[in-house]
Amino acid sequence: MKPTLSPPRLETERLILTAHTLDDFEPLAGMWSDPLVVKHIFGNVVSTSRESWMRMLSYHGLWPLLGHGYWAIREKSSGRYAGDLGFADFHRMMEPAIKGIPEAGWALAAWAHGKGFATEALAAALAWLDEQPRFNRSVCLISPDNRASIRVAEKAGYRDPRPTRLNDKDTLLFSRARRAAEG
């Protein structure tokens, strides 16, 4: 199978998922500096502009290294940047170990909360991941207090939340088996 060096363009009814561009930096940095966005991520610590820049660079680096990574989410009708979503291997120091397993993650700008965008974008990304035969499952880590993201994960088929610790904080580890292609 040919390696995936950059994110494929994915479209849903309302969204477009593509590679991040330089034009995404300002809205991305604004999103990651919003306390509402990071309330359940990073222990409620906003990102500096430099940290957001490094995040965007890492999004690009994931694809050629791992064959999967993050997409920029855009609202189809306006082209407006709505957030980030994708899969990574962050080499987390935790038990159980999840190294080598695609870890799903998502964050949406505050204006995009409550519209179903995360559910819609995750469904498209998982459909793409399910077509990649090298992965049997994926995982996601969610704060036990983040009811909205837990609902998104459950709708996408993530199950069996296992309590664990990450960065000295309680978190839930969800798992989802790869779905076989229909045909």
Please report, for the chain, the start and end positions of each structural domain, with discontinuous segments joined by +: 11-133
Q: Hey, how many other C-beta atoms are within 10 angstroms of the C-beta on 161?
A: 18
- Look at phi and psi of residue 111 and say left if phi exceeds 0, alpha if psi is from -120 to 50, else beta: alpha
Query: What is the pLDDT, as a whole number, of residue 179?
Result: 87
Q: Could you give phi then psi for residue 132, rounded to 5 degrees?
A: -95, 105
**Is the pLDDT reported for residue 147 higher than 80?**
yes
Give a three-class secondary structure readout of the chain.
CCCCCCCCCEECCCEEEECCCHHHHHHHHHHHCCCCCCCCCCCCCCCCHHHHHHHHHHHHHHHHHHCCCEEEEEECCCCCEEEEEEEECCCCCCCCCCCCCCEEEEEECHHHCCCCHHHHHHHHHHHHHHCCCCCCEEEEEECCCCHHHHHHHHHCCCEEEEEEEECCEEEEEEEEECCCCCC
Give the dihedral sign, CA 85/9/90/31: negative
| pLDDT of amino acid 144 | 96
- In degrees to the nearest 10, what's the CA dihedral of 151, 127, 9, 21? 40
Per-residue model confidence (pLDDT) at position 44: 83
pLDDT at 183 > cutoff 60: no
**Are 67 and 4 spatial neighbours (Cβ–Cβ below 8 Å)?**
yes
In this predicted structure, what is the pLDDT of residue 181?
A: 59
Average pLDDT over residues 137-159: 97
Percent of the chain at pLDDT > 90 equals 87
Q: Which two tokens stand for residue 159?
A: 């199950």
Question: Model pTM greater than 0.75?
Answer: yes
Whether omega for the bond prior to residue 35 falls within 30 degrees of 0, making it cis, is no
Say if residues 11 and 76 touch (Cβ distance below 8 Å). yes
| CATH superfamily label, 11-133 | Gcn5-related N-acetyltransferase (GNAT) (3.40.630.30)
Judged against a pLDDT cut of 60, whether residue 1 lies above it is answered with: no
Whether residue 24 contacts residue 81, with contact meaning beta carbons closer than 8 Å, is answered with: yes
pLDDT of 92 over the 50 cut: yes
Given this model, what pLDDT does residue 167 score?
85
pLDDT tens, position by position, 27-77 = 999 999 999 999 998 778 999 999 999 999 999 999 999 999 999 999 999
Task: Categorize the per-residue pLDDT at 2 as very low, low, confident or very high, splitting at 50, 70 and 90.
Answer: low
